[in-house]
A and B are shown apart, each in its own frame.
Chain A
C-alpha cells in the first residue's frame, strides 16, 4: 500500500514564528488532506488539496502531485496551533492512509 511520511516528527516554535511541514507519499494520489489533531484529540480537516495551493487564514498548503509531496505552511504561529498535524492520502479503493504526524508545540 501507499506509504506516507511526514517531517519533522517534532517541532517547537516561539509564538509568532513561521513553519513548514512536509508530507511525502510513495504513489501518485488523486487527493490529499491535511488534518490538525488538537491536544484534546479532536481531528479537524484543514485542507483537501490534490494539487496546487490553497490558503485559509494563516495556514496554506501546496501539493505537487507529480513530485509526490505536499507542504503545510503555518505563519505567525499561535499557541492554539499546537497539536499534531497529519496528512492523509488514499491507497487502494479510497482507503485513506495517515502519515505518522508532526507534533507541533508553540510556546508563548
Chain B
C-alpha cells in the first residue's frame, strides 16, 4: 500500500513569510495528525483530525498556524507569518481510526528553515 505522502520535502523561507505543507494519508485512514519536530526533540502533536473534523488542536499556535482537511482526505498545514522558532520538521501521520492501537504511519516530513 502507498504510504503517507508529504510535500515539499524542504522549504526555506524568510521570517514573516507564509508557507504551506501538504499531506495525503494512506487510503482509508480516517485519522490524520500533524506533528512538529524540533531538532533534538521528540515529535509534538499540533493537530489531530478525524475525517474532516478536528479532534485536538490544543497545542496548535492558532495565531499563526492553521490546518484544514477538506473532504476528509488530504490536509494542508499553513504558517503565516513564520517565525525563526518555527524551523523544524513537520510530520504528517495517519491511522486507521482514533484507536491508536492500529498504529501510526508517518510521512517523510517537510524540513522547514526560517531565516
A residues contacting B by CB (< 8 A) are 30-31, 33, 35, 40-45, 48, 50, 86, 88, 90, 92-101
B42 near A92 with CB under 8 A, answer: no
Chain B proximity of A98: nearest CB distance (Å): 3
Interface magnitude class on chain B: 20 to 34
- Cβ-defined partner of B43 (8 Å) among A31, A43, A90, A95: A43
What are 23 residue pairs bridging A and B, where the CB atoms are less than 8 Å apart in the complex? A31-B100, A31-B101, A33-B100, A33-B104, A35-B106, A40-B108, A41-B109, A42-B109, A43-B93, A45-B103, A86-B42, A93-B56, A94-B55, A94-B99, A94-B100, A95-B48, A97-B45, A98-B42, A98-B44, A99-B42, A100-B41, A100-B42, A101-B42
Contacts A98-B43, A101-B42 supplied; 6 other A-B pairs, CB < 8 Å: A41-B109, A88-B104, A90-B100, A92-B56, A94-B98, A95-B45
Option from B43, B98, B103 in Cβ contact (under 8 Å) with A48? B103
Residues on A with beta carbons closer than 8 Å to the beta carbon of B108: 40-42
Interface residues of B (CB under 8 A from A): 33, 41-45, 48, 55-56, 58, 89, 91, 93, 98-101, 103-106, 108-109, 111
Q: For the complex formed, measure the closest distance between the CB of A94 and the CB atoms of chain B, giving whole angstroms.
A: 5
Contacts of B101 in A (CB 8 A): 30-31, 48, 50
The answer to whether A93 and B55 touch across the interface, beta carbons within 8 angstroms, is yes
Task: Give the distance in Å from the alpha carbon of A80 to the alpha carbon of B106 in the complex.
Answer: 19
List the B residue with the shortest CB-CB distance to A41: B109
The distance from the CB of B48 to the nearest CB of chain A, in whole angstroms, is 7
A103 to chain B: closest residue by CB: B40
Closest residue on chain B to residue A40 by CB atoms: B108
Q: Which B residues lie within 8 Å of A99 (CB)?
A: 42
**CA–CA, A44 to B98, complex, Å?**
19
